[in-house]
């Protein structure tokens, strides 16, 4: 069975080269703001779903929390594992499958690490596994791009020059997905990858959460936790509570 796009791309060393300029200070600022809003106690157990190389999980642990990070990418978890300690652990794990049950107080799914699957059923099933991992009064924080703004301001073509590689990037909308194609040459070989992410709206998320046993209690439009505006906000940050459903 062929691998899905995210299994190939996220395990590629070129993924980390292309995105090596991610802003750690911005990520830490976002985590600080979330913690000020959520006010977790120091004995809370936190789950970082699709944690990548662990930048959010590592910072949460530095703030004193017990944190577990999971990600599908073996290479990302191998990198993150060097930072493990008694209160910080990383595992290779697919978010669609059950992990711990009724264990975590807060689950984070940050930096548009969702929306990768082909069907609504797959997305709902993933959210149901998030729900099952949380305690009865658990909270989910899901940070997504603002698809409404992205669709209106789509950069069709660009070239990024990083580490002597020219990444040719094109974007288009196909059905309900925003597709980014990434083509480049390196070492005499040609490479081509794609990112396919659903253009979920706030209404789409409301439906997904209802079907999976969550309720949205608050949503924000950026990492400063300002109000969400579908025309101008960069992000759609959803704070959800586990329901009795």
Q: Are residues 22 and 131 in the same domain?
A: yes
The number of folded domains in the chain is 2
CB atoms near residue 144 (< 10 Å) = 25
Query: The whole model's pTM is what?
Result: 0.95
Q: Are residues 90 and 210 in the same domain?
A: yes
Cα separation of 15 and 13, whole Å?
A: 5
Does the pLDDT at position 202 exceed 80? yes
Q: Are residues 73 and 92 in the same domain?
A: yes
What is the average pLDDT across 51-69?
97
Q: What is the pLDDT of residue 216?
A: 98
Structural domain span for residue 124: 5-145+201-242
pLDDT tens-digit series, residues 77-107: 999 999 999 999 999 999 999 999 999 999 9
Helical ranges in 81-188 per DSSP H: 120-133, 147-152
Does the pLDDT at position 2 exceed 80? no
Q: Which residue has the higher pLDDT, 207 or 2?
A: 207
What is the average pLDDT across 108-123?
96
pLDDT tens-digit series, residues 149-181: 999 999 889 999 999 999 999 999 999 999 999
CATH code (residue 48): 3.40.50.150
Cα separation of 242 and 209, whole Å?
A: 9
Q: Are residues 156 and 214 in the same domain?
A: no
Q: Are residues 116 and 163 in the same domain?
A: no
Mapped onto helix, strand or coil, the DSSP state of residue 33 is helix
Q: Are residues 121 and 216 in the same domain?
A: yes
Which of the 8 DSSP states describes residue 204? H
Q: Are residues 174 and 156 in the same domain?
A: yes
Question: At which residue do the structure tokens 């909308």 appear?
Answer: 173
Q: Are residues 186 and 215 in the same domain?
A: no
Q: What is the pLDDT of residue 22?
A: 72
Does the pLDDT at position 116 exceed 70? yes
Q: Are residues 116 and 187 in the same domain?
A: no
Rounded to 5 degrees, φ, ψ at 8 are -75, -50
pLDDT tens-digit series, residues 123-158: 999 999 999 999 999 999 999 999 999 999 998 899
Q: Are residues 68 and 140 in the same domain?
A: yes
Q: Are residues 78 and 174 in the same domain?
A: no
Q: Are residues 113 and 184 in the same domain?
A: no
Q: Are 115 and 200 in contact (CB under 8 A)?
A: yes
What is the average pLDDT across 187-213?
97
């Amino acid at each position: 069975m062929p691998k899905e796009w995210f299994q190939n791309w996220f395990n590629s060393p070129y993924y980390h080269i292309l995105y090596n300029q991610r802003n750690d200070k911005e990520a830490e600022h976002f985590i600080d703001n979330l913690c000020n809003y959520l006010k977790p106690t120091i004995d809370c157990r936190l789950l970082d779903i699709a944690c990548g190389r662990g930048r959010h999980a590592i910072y949460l642990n530095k703030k004193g929390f017990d944190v577990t990070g999971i990600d599908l990418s073996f290479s990302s978890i191998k990198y993150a594992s060097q930072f493990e300690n008694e209160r910080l652990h990383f595992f290779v794990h697919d978010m669609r499958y059950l992990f711990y049950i009724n264990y975590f107080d807060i689950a984070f799914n940050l930096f548009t690490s969702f929306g990768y699957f082909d069907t609504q059923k797959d997305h709902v099933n993933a959210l149901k596994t998030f729900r099952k991992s949380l305690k009865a009064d658990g909270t989910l924080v899901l940070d997504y791009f603002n698809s409404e703004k992205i669709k209106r301001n789509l950069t069709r073509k660009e070239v990024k020059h990083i580490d002597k590689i020219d990444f040719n990037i094109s974007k288009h909308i196909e059905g309900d997905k925003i597709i980014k194609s990434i083509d480049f040459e390196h070492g005499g070989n040609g490479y081509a990858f794609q990112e396919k992410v659903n253009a979920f709206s706030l209404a789409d998320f409301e439906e997904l959460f209802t079907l999976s046993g969550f309720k949205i209690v608050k949503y924000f439009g950026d990492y400063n936790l300002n109000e969400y505006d579908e025309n101008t906000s960069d992000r759609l940050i959803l704070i959800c509570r586990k329901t009795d459903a």
